[in-house]
Amino acid sequence: MNLEKLIVEKVRIALQMLYNQDVDDKLIQVQATRKDFKGDFTVVVFPFLKLSKKKPEDTAAEIGDFLKNNVAEISDYNVIKGFLNLTISTVYWIDFFNKNIQNAQFGIKKAGEKSPKIMVEYSSPNTNKPLHLGHIRNNLLGFSIAQILKAAGNHVTMVNLVNDRGIHICKSMLAWQKYSNFETPESSNKKGDHLVGEYYVKFDTEYKKEIKDLIEQGKTEEQAKKEAPILLEAQEMLRKWEAKTPEIYGLWEKMNAWVYAGFDETYKKLGVFFDKIYYESQTYLLGKENVLEGLKNRVLIQKEDTSVWADLTNDGLDQKILLRSDGTSVYITQDIGTAILRYNEFKPDIMTYVVGNEQDYHFKVLSLILQKLGYDWGKKLFHLSYGMVELPEGKMKSREGTVVDADDLIAEMIETARKTSQELGKLDALSAEDAENVYFTIAMGALKYFILKVDPRKNMTFNPNESIDFNGNTGPFIQYTYARIQSILRKAKEQNIELPEKVENSIFLHEKEVELIKNLHLLPEIIQEAAQNYSPALIANYIYDLVKEFNQYYHEFSILKEENKEIRKFRLLLSRFVGDSIKNMMQLLGINVPERM
């Protein structure tokens, strides 16, 4: 039982004993005591005044006396108006410490046979361009959320749906055909996704030229955009692809293979992976059969031009087309089919989509249509609607080539980490190879932490220079603290200091030590809360608070130089507990921590 539940139970007993009244647990409000007041947990007394028929202060004092005298975990209390602040006994904190100090995976819950199954879809790139800064936030969020859900005791499947077909893919293919002189990743020494992305930009450049020429010939802008020859060629190429014309289909396979290889390289740098990858080219025809079945069952409607629609007006939305008049599918039709395919494969209890907030409406519609088609699990679709990420300079545009390329950003982060570390002289003792590995670890820690510490639902601005700072709320600051703890533990080993399995209950704890143990005590609750809220930011901010608390402790108290052997061993155990917790929680963010730094 956690402390909060214990206090609720004991307060309920106190009310029974003091006022001969049974109360519902929901009436008992318990919260963490504000930092500017003494105490660990605060009970709101105002709901009990009808029972006590006394002033708030007197009621709180009576309940406080009862709890102090009858509950071993509560050592003291104080009253501020109608608020009862309870102090948890040091004996409780030492007992908690001893029970968990040997558990290097403290707070991590393993999934059982009946644990929920959660599917997390993230990444979902297009194969006409390399991954960019927006994809980085998506990938880091998706991967971290999956790790947090696993740590909270769920069965998790991570999937990716690659958008590898459509007019945008044909634009890159056509531009390569017309302007590349058969350039390949090998001949140009470029990553395949970068090479294909360049031709997507090239298409847009040529398209704009043709629009300008047509306007000068007397066409309206709208006519010019529709009649530009290069666009008509791309549309014809898409028709040939759908007909599986060998030449076009072969070119598509070749260029996609270049892109997949490039994606894999970037995914490896980011430290993300998937349990299964779906491809739009294999799923875009799915859903049509389900839509026709829905039409047959009269849950969908057909208009005069034979197009098929879902009428969602009674649900507060509008009508959504599912099949065009020529019988072809639209994007949401594919999503319907893919969702059904995945459900049949994995039977997830929750299907989570990590997709930007510009798709909010799409997922509301998808959930409703699935339910109308008879799939009750459609209501368990969850859209993690995250905000956009920008640079200080503003928004990015793929077609104009103004996006921040993921690989370029990673390279810039590594260079910044190298430069900052060398200026501070932090890695002078390491070999060149070991130093490079640490530079990479610092760079990726800085990038991931800076992005993940922000609430996913908020828009954010990513500033590379601010992210790599060895002070403040940054990845490198946390990594450095972990490395510092490992250094302390190595020195203890060199001095042949053997650590006990537990400490004596009678050991004296300073207030700072109690605060650190309290922070550690919160860890399982934070993981569960982060999982429930789909928020890596809760994990990130917890780690920062823990690290701040430890660094203050480290500067105020001796650890290795403490003369009392028992206290020294306790402090080493406490340091190790903090270090293990930092490492585990950072891993939930997909961040590695270096042993030396």
pLDDT 10s digits, 150-166? 999 999 999 999 999 99
Residue 227 has pLDDT above 90, yes or no: yes
Residue 399 C-beta-side C-alpha neighbours within 13 Å: 9
> Cα–Cα distances in Å, from 378 out to 78, 339, 366, 372, 399?
50, 9, 8, 9, 35
Q: What letter would DSSP give residue 514?
A: H
Residue 42 has pLDDT above 60, yes or no: yes
Residue owning tokens 């990673």: 410
CATH topology of domain 3-88: Gyrase A; domain 2 (3.30.1360)
Q: How confident is the model at residue 463 (pLDDT cuts 50, 70, 90)?
A: confident
* Structure-token pair, residue 189: 């020494």
Average pLDDT, the chain: 94
Q: Give the C-alpha separation, 177 to 159, whole Å.
A: 32
| The residue type at 257 | A
Q: Return the pLDDT at 250.
A: 97
* Structure-token pair, residue 166: 């459509």
Q: Give the C-alpha separation, 282 to 169, whole Å.
A: 15
Residue 109 has pLDDT above 70, yes or no: yes
Phi-psi region of 189 (alpha: psi -120 to 50; beta: other; left: phi over 0): left
pTM: 0.92
Q: Return the pLDDT at 400.
A: 47
pLDDT tens per residue across span 497-550: 999 999 998 899 999 999 999 999 999 999 999 999 999 999 999 999 999 999
Q: Give the C-alpha separation, 529 to 359, whole Å.
A: 25
Q: How confident is the model at residue 420 (pLDDT cuts 50, 70, 90)?
A: confident
- The torsion of the CA quartet 338, 260, 437, 274, rounded to 10 degrees, works out to 20
Average pLDDT over residues 167-177: 96
* Structure-token pair, residue 102: 């040997």
Q: Give yes or no on whether 3-88 and 406-588 have one common fold.
A: no
Burial 522-534 (b: 16+ CB within 10 A, else e): bbbebbbbbbeeb
| Interior angle at CA 57, CA 52 and CA 62, nearest 5 | 55
How would you write 306-335 as a 3-class SS string?
CCEEEECHHHCCCEEEEECCCCCECHHHHH
pLDDT tens per residue across span 47-106: 999 999 999 999 999 999 999 999 999 999 999 999 999 999 999 999 999 999 999 999
62 touches 483 (CB < 8 A): no
Q: How confident is the model at residue 225 (pLDDT cuts 50, 70, 90)?
A: very high
| The residue type at 334 | Q
Q: How confident is the model at residue 1 (pLDDT cuts 50, 70, 90)?
A: low
Q: Give the C-alpha separation, 145 to 4, whole Å.
A: 26
Q: Which of 6-15, 124-133, 242-251, 466-475 has the lowest mean pLDDT?
A: 466-475
Q: How confident is the model at residue 285 (pLDDT cuts 50, 70, 90)?
A: confident
Q: Return the pLDDT at 394.
A: 52
Q: How confident is the model at residue 17 (pLDDT cuts 50, 70, 90)?
A: very high
Q: Give the C-alpha separation, 546 to 519, whole Å.
A: 6
How remote is the C-alpha of 270 from its chain's centroid? 13
Task: Provide the strand spans (E) within 328-391.
Answer: 350-356, 381-386, 389-390
Query: In terms of CATH, what superfamily is 406-588?
Result: Isoleucyl-tRNA Synthetase; Domain 1 (1.10.730.10)
Q: Return the pLDDT at 393.
A: 66
Residue 401 has pLDDT above 80, yes or no: no
* Structure-token pair, residue 354: 């990590």
The strand pair at 308-311 and 350-356 is best described as unpaired
Q: How confident is the model at residue 402 (pLDDT cuts 50, 70, 90)?
A: low
What percentage of the chain carries pLDDT values higher than 70? 98
Q: How confident is the model at residue 27 (pLDDT cuts 50, 70, 90)?
A: very high
Length of the chain: 597
Exposure of 424 by Cβ count < 10 A (0-12 exposed, 13-18 middle, 19+ buried)? exposed
pLDDT tens per residue across span 327-344: 888 899 999 999 999 999
What percentage of the chain carries pLDDT values higher than 90? 86
* Structure-token pair, residue 505: 């209950």
Domain ranges of the chain: 3-88, 166-281, 406-588
Q: Return the pLDDT at 396.
A: 43
Average pLDDT over residues 455-465: 89
Residue 561 CB neighbour total at 10 angstroms: 7
First vs last Cα of the chain: how many Å apart? 39
- The torsion of the CA quartet 539, 541, 547, 548, rounded to 10 degrees, works out to -160
* Structure-token pair, residue 192: 């395949």
Residue 270 has pLDDT above 50, yes or no: yes
